[in-house]
Chain A
Amino acid sequence: MDKLSFREVRQGRRFMIRVLPGTKLVDELMQFARMVNLRHGAIVSAVGSVRNVEFSDIQAGAHLPITEPRMPVHRVDGPLDLLGLEGNLVPNETGKIDAHLHIFAAKSSGDAIGGHLLEAEVFATCEILLGEYIVEGVERQHSTRGGVDTLFFEDH
């Protein structure tokens, strides 16, 4: 099994969260995780509405490693319907909690936008179900090959 690495995880706590309008979504989630001392987690569901969304995507034709000029940043003022937030929260090398989140949001026309979430502001509301997972030896580290941060499994 050299193409994949994994670690079995146990279910921890589960949280229902409402983020108030005007709040920076990613910052707030990080503060929450630190407050409840959540080490590993994943978004189970997230709906609501957002604006001033900043996200990036990978340019056509890009080769590894992916670097900043290959990931143009888009900024959509919105407001947009938050259709979903995918991703996980895992500590980085220094042990500080770090989120890798992708956003999916829709304009009034029904056209959707999406990508690697940098930051977004909650517009009317944001309802998140967050699942905690209990595991040891999993953190996010920078991968020189891929050029991006990625999950790293210590060999026990």
Chain B
Amino acid sequence: MDITRRASAGTMQSSDLMVHVEPAERLDIQIESTVKKQFEHLIRDRIEAVLRQLAVTRVLVKVSDRGALDYAIEARMETALRRAAEA
């Protein structure tokens, strides 16, 4: 799947997260989170898992997380990527 435009998904409500993605030369994941210290690496794992699953290697990902659980992180990430790849 290749990323052709900017797109985002999610909301700023608690237990949710906002994901912005845009085309880029390489993979760059930036995470802001209310629980950054304890969970940043776990959030990063989930994002990388979705990127692998959708075969996306070059993209800029900016996440602002409000304590979202894994299932929500993966869902918002998938939706943002699909929106950014829509032909």
A and B touch in the complex (CB under 8 A): no
